[in-house]
Homo-oligomer: A and B are copies of this chain.
Amino acid sequence: MNKGMRPREAYEWLLTHHKESAYLGSVRALLAWDQRTQIPPKGHAHRAQQVALLTKLLHQRATDPRIGEMLEILEGSEFTQEPTAPEAVNIREWRRAYEKARKIPERLAVELARTTAQAESAWEAARPQNDWAAFKPHLEKVLELTREVAEALGYEREPYDALLDGYEPGETTARLEPIFARLREALVDLLGRIQNAPRRPDTSVLHRHYPRSAQEAFAKAVAARIGYDFEAGRLDPTAHPFAIAIGPGDVRITTRYDENYFSGAFFGTIHEAGHAMYEQGLPAEHWGTPMGEPVSLGIHESQSRMWENMVGRSLGFWRYFFPEAQRHFEALKDVDLEAFHFAVNAVEPSLIRVEADEVTYNLHILLRFELELALLRGELEVADLPEAWNEKMRAYLGLTPPDYRDGVMQDVHWSAGLIGYFPTYTLGNLYAAQFFAKAQEELGDLEAMFAQGEFAPLLEWLREQIHRQGMRYHPRDLVRAVTGEEVSPEPLIRYLNAKFGALYEV
């Protein structure tokens, strides 16, 4: 019935169809935000039903065969002549999403949803009990279904690529392995030097009393100053911090407060503000289409990590904000700037990824990437996972987890079926270092700007180079377009060596 349809009509149909889906998706985002910040205890059962219905409707819409018919009319038409023009980008991504959605049989999608829901509950119950035996069969089942998903999606070289591509479009294992190997080597070397360093920071100042209301006021003031728009967002407390886009003009962040620790809420807020500033900077006129969406998890993480670490943990940043911090916190009155800056950059191998510093963080990720890959390749059984985990912890971080809880069972990801997701954290750090180096090259001494409270030049550069591009490029193409270089570990290695070499005098 669409045979006689012209490309313009087909494009308009796809636009309307996907924008309506995007509105429904943004409604589901609000349900998620509310569930994690506002919902009363007895509201959860109903919320699960609301989310399940929207998910069902969105899946039906994503696999509507009319999408395929319309795309066929458009592909090869004048709408796809200029590959980075908005229409061509949208058509490219609609096709990508349609193929992915159609390739997963309904039975598999349903089984995966049920299995991961059960596995997540099992993980929540088993982790506090340190009960690996109870969790193991769930993880085995998730892995089995994940393999099925990879087969259904298809791949050229190996199953892991099919998963990776879902989180970081176009990325492959073959390209990641040498980059990650080089990074691991450099990090292990830097960490070794730091552990034998002549000086150490005094981190006890970070564990003094920091009243919650002052933490909130300070974090809000700083987030606003670096460019997070509170007229288009809000900050709320939660157990697990996150940033979430409800729509243009409404991108919310959350954090978690500990009155006896400065860094958690503060750097958590800056991290989430980094994610949110990316969303706030997407082109609103393209909202609801790929041209208005973020590129990938890795590019998203590059924004959060840049603001958290390269900006928020720089000396220039604290030259500007430390006096204000001292006005907010009695605990900092007798602390000097350099000592504080050294403390918030302390490097210390630890068991838990989410608490790791800039140097050790990626070692936690590389370990997970290597284990996931071995599992997918059939080189490692779930039964042998704890021992493999501990071996790598010893090799990279010199630590042996005393239990499963703070070892192999620490993350929710695997129970939730998020296999192939971890590498995007490290990719985010790599991209961030590449972008930051380029920005510095083009804008001049960024830290000197931070010391004057000037964050707008960096944000505007990111807006122009990255945020306003939407999904015009896949990650590797974006990195090339922005920096003129391929994805590389060297800028991150240079940045870390320079920063921590100076701090620790190694």
Contacts and interface: CB of A to CB of B under 8 A. Distances in A.
A23 B49 contact: yes
A171 interface: no
Contacts of A234: 38, 40
B248 A46 contact: yes
Contacts of A324: none
A42 B229 contact: yes
Nearest to A280: B42
A424 B442 CA distance: 67
Nearest to A234: B40
A354 interface: no
A230 B40 contact: yes
Chain B CB count within 10 A is highest, among A27, A44, A47, A54, for A27
A300 B248 CA distance: 37
Contacts of A23: 49-50, 53
Contact of A246 (B26, B43, B247): B43
B53 A246 contact: no
Interface residues of A, number: 35
A47 B248 CA distance: 10
A452 to B, nearest CB: 28
Interface in A1-60: 20, 23-24, 26-27, 30-31, 34, 38-47, 49-50, 53-54
A250 interface: yes
A294 B234 CA distance: 34
A127 to B, nearest CB: 26
A231 interface: yes
A451 to B, nearest CB: 30
Contact of A31 (B27, B42, B231, B252): B27
Interface in A231-254: 231-234, 246-250, 252
Q: Is the interface of A mostly helix, strand, loop or mixed?
A: helix
B40 A231 contact: yes
Contact of A41 (B49, B53, B231): B231
Contacts of A49: 23, 247
Contacts of A249: 40, 42-46
Contacts of A41: 231-232
A195 to B, nearest CB: 45
Interface string A273-296: 000000000000001000000000
Contact of A47 (B46, B250, B287): B250
B27 A246 contact: no
Nearest to A233: B40
Contacts of A38: 38, 234
Interface string A130-165: 000000000000000000000000000000000000
A116 B119 CA distance: 50
A433 to B, nearest CB: 32
A431 B363 CA distance: 69
Given A27-B27, A34-B34, A38-B38, A50 B230 contact: no
A31 B33 CA distance: 12
A43 B251 CA distance: 9
Contacts of A231: 40-42
Interface string A48-79: 01100110000000000000000000000000
Given A40-B230, A230-B40, A234-B40, A247 B46 contact: yes
Given A26-B46, A40-B252, A47-B247, 7 more contacts: A30-B31, A30-B50, A34-B34, A43-B247, A43-B250, A46-B249, A49-B247
26 contacts: A23-B49, A23-B50, A23-B53, A26-B46, A26-B50, A27-B27, A27-B31, A30-B34, A38-B234, A40-B230, A40-B231, A40-B232, A40-B249, A41-B232, A42-B229, A42-B248, A42-B250, A43-B246, A43-B247, A44-B249, A45-B248, A46-B247, A46-B248, A46-B250, A47-B247, A47-B250
Smallest CB-CB A-B distances: 9 pairs: A43-B250, A46-B247, A42-B249, A42-B232, A23-B53, A43-B249, A41-B231, A42-B231, A23-B50
